[in-house]
Amino acid sequence: MMAKRAPAGPDMSEVERQVRAAGLDRAWTQFRDDVLAAARQVAAQRDAATGVAAASEPWPPMIVTPVPTER
């Protein structure tokens, strides 16, 4: 039986690049665990999310029917 492979963690150099780009140097220094936890969470949810394949509809923004629809 093949062992289940653990999901890849975020690339540290990529995380650091994003941290710098976002201006989060202070959080990176003081709360590195929190920053890494956030990066891991986003990576996991991106893997879990199902994409929309077609380039056509549907597109945002959300449309909520502006008038009552009661029958």
The reply to whether 46 sits near another protein by the rule CB under 8 A is yes
Q: What is the DSSP string of 15-56?
A: HHHHHHHHT-HHHHHH-HHHHHHHHHHHHHHHHHSPPP--SS
Residue 8 binds to another protein (criterion: CB under 8 A): no
C-beta of 3 vs 21, nearer to another protein = 21
Sign of the four-CA dihedral 39, 43, 44, 50: positive
Using CB under 8 A as the criterion, which residues of the chain lie in contact with another protein when the complex forms? 10, 15, 18-19, 22-24, 26-27, 30-31, 34-35, 37-39, 41-43, 45-46, 48-52, 57-62, 64-65, 67-71
